Amino acid sequence: MSFINETHDINLKSWISSANVAGNDFPIQNLPFASFRRKGSSEEFRGGVAIGDQVLDLAVVADAGIFSGIAQEAVIAANAPALNEFMGMGKAHWSALRLALSKALREGSEQQSALESALVAQDDVEYALPCHIGDYTDFYTSIYHATAVGSLFRPDNPLLPNYKWVPIGYHGRASSIGVSGQSFPRPKGQTKAPDADVPSFGPAKRMDYELELGIYLGKGNELGDAISIEDAEDHVFGFCLFNDWSARDLQAWEYQPLGPFLAKNFASTVSPWIVTTEALAPYRTQWHRDENDPQPLDYLESSHNREAGAFDIQMDVLLESEKMRADGAAPSKLSESSFKHSYWTVAQMVTHHTVNGCNFIPGDMLGSGTQSGPEHEEAGSMLELSRGGKESIKLNNGEERKFLEDGDKVIMRGWCEANGFNRIGFGRVEGTVLPAK
């Protein structure tokens, strides 16, 4: 099955010149969605599409009436403070609007004059969450991360026996998810030192980030109905960058017997743009399971999932300290990894999540879990990079870290590249740790 269509053509150029600059995150082949308004204004947030260094205002597009059929229905729904209605329309509406936008934004488009007034510079806008996230489940799909963290918390039993059989996840806290630019106070909670008889209370000392992808659900399912692995991706609207902040010392004390709680629920940050599943078609790749590992049970297995169920989404992490900001120095790169290393695919996550009859609604989100690669420098958290706080991480300006300090800003970026196709990007997700209240 081919997912490639005319919207992915590398030869397409836009009449918006910034979209044609090499290395730009938002060429015409991308067209991601967000909720935006002009900075400092009292305007309603509304749907927008990134093109070059501009945002295409979908309110203007909807009012112009230049589209027809389900593409016009889709753009009217996307002209809202949150994209949930549009996301819930399903694959046919998503694809129709993408094609209509692609044609309207191409060089030589007859609709250029109607859309020139719909452009707002990205430098002049601010973002809200792109949709109302009703529920959020965080998965644990990197076997490299799971093994590394398990070896720190459970040296004698690092990878639990169910990991290779079942996509592991926990129910996260949707109310504390914020959009890029989020800042939050260092969380407080209980910790217990190895040599202490009783726990103590206070600010977390081992603040960390987690390099993840957020996966937005579109069309939902009824309570009691399962989504088959063959249909799973039809329910996935798109992807974002996701930083699932973690307090590792709180986590070490509380995580048994029920898993993450206060160590995770104080803040999580998403990038503003949702890159659609359709836009990611050229960057699909084969998914495989080592022949010596257990193979997925039948409900988690399909030929399509084997052939093209993985996505080669590159991601990296940078740290900007207060000193770097004061000195005007560039952030220091910490690591780089790819989602192609994931032990479980998006389709398997969706299918497993609903196999018991759990219902999704438009705007629900899945976290991929920390995306670490097979090499140490591909680790997606400071816990791994510092080997549990035993080794210092050297920054470009001479500073050192084992975990995050107050004032540290974490920046994550994502992009996709493939031979014969244009590079597309996710933009950035940024967040800053403030002192504890």
Q: Which residues are catalytic?
A: 145
The closest alpha carbon to 274, from 48, 9, 39, 2, belongs to 48
* CA-based max dimension of the chain: 74
Q: Which residues on adjacent β-strands are paired with residue 393?
A: 401
CA distance readout (Å), 310 to 80, 291, 328, 352, 435: 32, 17, 39, 16, 39
Q: Is the dihedral of CA 305, 307, 311, 314 positive or negative?
A: positive
The closest alpha carbon to 365, from 214, 143, 188, 149, belongs to 214
Other C-beta atoms lying within 10 Å of the C-beta of residue 111: 18
Query: Which SS3 state, helix, strand or coil, does residue 55 take?
Result: strand
Other C-beta atoms lying within 10 Å of the C-beta of residue 162: 8
Q: Which residues on adjacent β-strands are paired with residue 164?
A: none
Strand-pair category, 409-416 with 400-401: unpaired
Q: Residue 420, by phi and psi: left (phi above 0), alpha (psi -120 to 50) or beta?
A: left
Q: How far is CA 76 from the centre of its chain?
A: 25
